Structure 1
Amino acid sequence: MSKIAFIFPGQGSQYVGMGLELYNSSNTAKNIFSQFNEVLDRNLSGICFEGPEEDLKQTVNTQPGILAVSIAAYSLLKEKTGITPDFVAGHSLGEYAALYAADVVGLEDVIKLVQRRSELMSQAQAGSMTAILGLDDEKLAEMVKKASASGIVSIANYNTPDQTVITGEVKAVEAANQIASELGAKRVIPLPVSGAFHSPLMKNASEQFADHVANFNINNATVPVVTNVDAKPTTEKEEFTAKMVDQIYSSVHWKQSISYMIEQGVDTFIEIGPGKVLSGMVKKISRQTKTYNVTDMATLEEVINALNSQVTV
């Protein structure tokens, strides 16, 4: 019997207009966006649907915006299919949609958690990030070790076997970029961000976030959540509390998380939320997998039909 995982995208998947069709087609989606607007006390749905892009790109809008679209799309999929996945996972911010899907946190709480997370990450010490293509783990470790002589630099995201994102202080990341090229990287792509997400520079933000997380009711998961910090399945509420805090300054072990789920028998990945970034990553990790995405009503129908055909076969 094949197994299914729901995966949820992170920052970078946003685009102006995301979620609008879901909102216009469904009272369920409408109610979710309304709750986001109410809890955040601002017109988040307007920024998602109409922009401008400069506003949507601000972390304090991007993170809750992607979360809103992901939860709306997930809720419609659940409503129409009743399907329970074997695992859930999310890339960075996307882990919060996964926590919601696994009943670890309720809607109002997950909105407030991501609101505070986005504020703290925006306010954290400046830095930079770069995507490195074509270096294996051994050469990446060598690059980080050498570049660390120039300051703080570390791995932010292990995305695919071929793509890794580094993060840290500007001078150290610049040094790492040069070293990566010397070690034979296919491409070195500086990313248009001013933060050093998932780096030790986020430690202070994570400590402040720990104080915030302590105020919330965290539950055991109804579905295993494969978490970013260690690519392991988690169901215990105490572990989630710690991992939410650690995730802010720790590496995102995405390729390891997908590989783990494949080892456990998952052959179908459904990306839920804006864009197709994660689906592309999954295919680069294993071409044997089936990937689908739910981002609007048309893709929702495609996934429902695909799931029905799998069940009948």
Structure 2
Amino acid sequence: MIAFVFPGQGSQYVGMAKDLSVCAKDLFETASEILGFDLAKLCFEGPQTELNKTENTQPAILTVSYALLREFSVSGISPAYVAGHSLGEYTAALCGEVFSFSDAIRITRKRGQLMQSAQPEGKGAMAAVLGLDEETLKQICESIKNFYVDLANLNCPGQIVISGEAEGVRKASELAKQKGAKKVVPLQVSIPSHCMLMKEVAQEFGQFLRSFNFNDSKIPIVSNVDAVEVKEAEAILNAFVRQLYSPVRWQDCVKYMISKGVNTFIEIGPGKVLSGLIRRIDSSVKIYNIENLEDLNNVKKEVSG
């Protein structure tokens, strides 16, 4: 049984999808028209600083992932489940035909803008903590007084991201090292994603989402928020809103799909982040990665054969 998974923010790089420029020309043109700038040029040529701006990154990764998905879908290989890491959940919804590609561009652009505006520059921070379990890290976050910090991404065994006010993240990071964390890596972001500092913009985002037509998904989407499958339009919309201020339970999402019989994961989109995480969650499953046309043709042969 196969699952398609889609990467989130942080997987972008200049030059991604360059070999898709001809076959995905229509998608890049549609996205560029909506965004008001040449998205293909930004993806293929950069500069990286512009590509890294959240409001640009989100529609860029979505377009590249969807372009690869569309090309791969021609092979007739279809998933039993889909899932995405944070932003990747929107590509998963596109795979399930929950909304149109143009609506997905508008939604991810707005999502990026709202996330960027949620906190003043420098107030929020995130850090990856390696080598501590969820319970220990949760207790550390709760012990920090006067500054807010919480768990944001439960990625795989021994890798949890914390998010919150910059000082709260700094204090929790220090305490995590004292409690035996192998390493703490501050993330190069100014946005404290997937924590309660996003609650206010999440409400505005929910109102924005209601201006679009959502369909029930044709494929079960395993939601980041609860790590269970959702198909109904209303449940998907609600999960998108909650996802902004709730932790991404990626490890639980992968375990859920495996418990349902998934033994093959195909990561579709830039980078190989999810493939690495899945390997650490369960090394017995088959994992493929598609981030260019060469990968796409190789995986077609492997999976079909």
Q: What residue number does 2:84 align with?
A: 90
The number of residues matched between the two structures is 302
SS at match of 1:197: coil
Q: Are 2:77 and 2:304, in contact at CA under 8 Å, matched by a contact in 1?
A: no
CA distance, structure 2, for counterparts of residue 229 and residue 71 of structure 1: 22
Q: Identify the structure with the greater helix proportion.
A: 1
Residue 197 of structure 2 is aligned to residue 193 of structure 1: no
RMSD, aligned CA? 0.8
CA distance, structure 2, for counterparts of residue 83 and residue 150 of structure 1: 52
Q: Are 1:150 and 1:175, in contact at CA under 8 Å, matched by a contact in 2?
A: no
Q: Which string of whole-angstrom CA distances, capped at 9 and with x for unpartnered residues, describes residues 114-159 of structure 1?
A: 0110110111114000000000122112111112x13111111000
Residue 132 of structure 2 is aligned to residue 157 of structure 1: no
Q: What residue number does 1:20 align with?
A: 18
CA distance, structure 2, for counterparts of residue 121 and residue 50 of structure 1: 25
CA distance, structure 1, for counterparts of residue 69 and residue 146 of structure 2: 44
Choose from 176, 181, 200 the match for 1:180. 176
Q: Are 2:115 and 2:191, in contact at CA under 8 Å, matched by a contact in 1?
A: yes
Counterpart amino acid of residue 73 in structure 2: K
Counterpart amino acid of residue 73 in structure 1: L
Residue 214 of structure 2 is aligned to residue 254 of structure 1: no
Displacement after TM superposition at 1:168 (Å)? 0.1
Choose from 72, 80, 85 the match for 1:77. 72
Q: What residue number does 1:4 align with?
A: 2
* Stretches of 4+ aligned residues off by more than 4 angstroms: none
CA distance, structure 2, for counterparts of residue 292 and residue 34 of structure 1: 29
Q: Are 1:70 and 1:97, in contact at CA under 8 Å, matched by a contact in 2?
A: yes
Choose from 108, 114, 119 the match for 1:114. 108
Q: Are 2:92 and 2:221, in contact at CA under 8 Å, matched by a contact in 1?
A: yes
Displacement after TM superposition at 1:179 (Å)? 1.0
Q: Are 2:21 and 2:40, in contact at CA under 8 Å, matched by a contact in 1?
A: no
SS at match of 1:14: coil
Displacement after TM superposition at 1:83 (Å)? 2.1
Q: Are 1:10 and 1:66, in contact at CA under 8 Å, matched by a contact in 2?
A: yes
Q: What residue number does 1:146 align with?
A: 143
CA distance, structure 2, for counterparts of residue 42 and residue 31 of structure 1: 15
Counterpart amino acid of residue 11 in structure 1: Q
Q: Are 1:127 and 1:194, in contact at CA under 8 Å, matched by a contact in 2?
A: yes
Choose from 120, 124, 129 the match for 2:126. 129
Q: Which string of whole-angstrom CA distances, capped at 9 and with x for unpartnered residues, describes residues 191-234 of structure 1?
A: 11111011111111101101100100001010000001110100
CA distance, structure 2, for counterparts of residue 245 and residue 142 of structure 1: 26
CA distance, structure 2, for counterparts of residue 117 and residue 197 of structure 1: 11
Matches within 5 A, 1:215-230: 215-230=211-226
Unaligned runs of 5+ in 1: none
CA distance, structure 2, for counterparts of residue 57 and residue 50 of structure 1: 13
SS at match of 1:167: strand
CA distance, structure 2, for counterparts of residue 294 and residue 23 of structure 1: 16
Unaligned runs of 5+ in 2: none
| TM-score (normalizing by structure 1) | 0.95
Q: What residue number does 2:38 align with?
A: 43
Q: What residue number does 1:213 align with?
A: 209
Q: What residue number does 2:303 align with?
A: 307
CA distance, structure 2, for counterparts of residue 15 and residue 150 of structure 1: 37
CA distance, structure 2, for counterparts of residue 111 and residue 82 of structure 1: 25
CA distance, structure 1, for counterparts of residue 40 and residue 84 of structure 2: 22
Percent of counterpart pairs with the same letter?
44
CA distance, structure 1, for counterparts of residue 303 and residue 146 of structure 2: 51
